[in-house]
Amino acid sequence: MKKIMLTALRMLTLLTAISILSFLMMAKAPIDPLTAYIGTNSTISEDAREEIAEYWGLNDPPLERFMTWAGNTLRGEFGRSIVYKQPVLTVIKERFRYSLALMLIAWLSSGILGFVLGIGAAVCKDSILDRGIRTVCLVFQSAPTFWVGLIMLSVFAVNLGWFPIGLAAPMGKMASEVTLAERIYHLILPSITLSILGIGKITLYTRQKLLEILDSEFMLYARARGENTWQMVKSHGIRNIAIPAITVQFASFSELFGGIALAETVFSYPGIGSAVTAAGLGGDVPLLLGIAIFSAVFVFTGNLIANILYGMVDPRIREGFSHE
């Protein structure tokens, strides 16, 4: 019970801090929400401008706007999006359906592939394979997401024509007519681009941890008993590097949310990341705050799941918690 209350308190503190910081950043941003709403070349009258500003509460002092938003949020009303002219929760729900599929594919593929490549690099230490894997991982880890996305788009969509240039479905088709195969087809390039964010980190981390285990005295004893490298990795190594790998992989939730905005913008993918970009450029404070809170809950939940999985992977951790 005490742990549950402590977890809830941490989450409440996190959401409060994120809400305040996000609002302050938008309040200090050089973007004028009213100008972004009506356009820079708008010819509407001053009275109409005042009515629009009054409707969205843009003339109120920042503190009053924040307190009004906070009060409505506590009642479950996140307000209306200035950019999409819809309730914030509706926008998040519609957009997150697309982003969830993209993030899950990228997260699973980067974790599995990174884990396998890390094991292979450690077992083949200092070989051509090891050096090649490390070089590729360092390059991908240093490359900006939008740059990787543009390269993938240019090579595989424009030059080779293997994949569509963007969007989540073929143009000119109604949503009810789009097949599952077509949606998967449009997911491939964005998911590969997003997965590159996590492959390098999990690969290098797994490699380092496995090398430490292989150099331990226990492994030297196992080698003296006649076990080869692959037998030692299978019997003793994988279990011991699983926890660090899970830690790094679940910690990548925040990086996924950071990279998804760029990846979705490059591929014109209608997910929550592109909604963040539109909200930031349009000064849409209600939508940006709603997405910030939603993202924080999502990341916090991922970290909580990781803590639960630790006990499943290694019962000693669960037993340690039971004695507290």
pLDDT at 135 over 70: yes
Question: What local confidence, expressed as pLDDT, does residue 315 receive?
Answer: 55
Where helices occur in the chain by DSSP H, the ranges are 2-28, 33-38, 46-56, 62-74, 88-123, 128-142, 145-152, 180-214, 217-224, 229-232, 238-251, 253-266, 272-281, 285-313, 315-322
Cα(208)–Cα(193) distance, integer angstroms: 25
Question: What local confidence, expressed as pLDDT, does residue 97 receive?
Answer: 85
Query: Is residue 187 within 8 Å of 224, Cβ to Cβ?
Result: no
What are the φ/ψ torsions at residue 80 (nearest 5 degrees)? -115, 140
pLDDT at 323 over 50: no
Global confidence as pTM = 0.74
- pLDDT one-digit tens code per residue, 24-67: 887 777 777 777 777 666 677 777 777 877 777 777 788 888 88
Query: Is residue 247 within 8 Å of 306, Cβ to Cβ?
Result: yes
pLDDT at 321 over 50: no
Query: Is residue 108 within 8 Å of 249, Cβ to Cβ?
Result: no
Question: What local confidence, expressed as pLDDT, does residue 235 receive?
Answer: 72
Instruction: Tell me how far CA of residue 196 lies from CA of 46, 255, 271, in angstroms.
Output: 49, 11, 19
Question: What local confidence, expressed as pLDDT, does residue 322 receive?
Answer: 43
One-letter amino acid for residue 61 of the chain: P
Query: Is residue 31 within 8 Å of 41, Cβ to Cβ?
Result: no
Cα(188)–Cα(164) distance, integer angstroms: 9
- 29 or 158, which is more confident? 158
Question: What local confidence, expressed as pLDDT, does residue 1 receive?
Answer: 63
- 194 or 47, which is more confident? 194
- The proportion of the chain whose per-residue pLDDT surpasses 70, expressed as a percent, equals 89
pLDDT at 324 over 70: no
Cα(277)–Cα(39) distance, integer angstroms: 17
Query: Is residue 172 within 8 Å of 84, Cβ to Cβ?
Result: no
Cα(316)–Cα(164) distance, integer angstroms: 49
- 176 or 101, which is more confident? 101
Structural domains of the chain, with CATH: 88-322 (1.10.3720.10)
Chain centroid to Cα 88, Å, comes to 20
- pLDDT one-digit tens code per residue, 273-303: 888 888 888 888 888 888 888 888 887 777 7
Task: Give the HSE-up count for residue 188: Cα atoms under 13 Å, Cβ half-sphere.
Answer: 14
Task: Assign 310 a pLDDT band (cuts: 50, 70, 90).
Answer: low
Task: Assign 211 a pLDDT band (cuts: 50, 70, 90).
Answer: confident
Task: Assign 182 a pLDDT band (cuts: 50, 70, 90).
Answer: confident
- 73 or 56, which is more confident? 73
Task: Assign 241 a pLDDT band (cuts: 50, 70, 90).
Answer: confident
DSSP-derived secondary structure for 245-283: HHHHHHHTHHHHHHHHHHHHHHTT--SHHHHHHHHHHTT
Question: What local confidence, expressed as pLDDT, does residue 22 receive?
Answer: 84
pLDDT at 319 over 70: no
Cα(281)–Cα(84) distance, integer angstroms: 13
| C-alpha closest to that of 279 among 53, 81, 76 | 81
- The proportion of the chain whose per-residue pLDDT surpasses 90, expressed as a percent, equals 2
Question: What local confidence, expressed as pLDDT, does residue 316 receive?
Answer: 52
Cα(193)–Cα(104) distance, integer angstroms: 13
* Both structure tokens of 175: 């949503």
Task: Give the HSE-up count for residue 257: Cα atoms under 13 Å, Cβ half-sphere.
Answer: 17
Mean pLDDT, the chain, as a whole number?
80
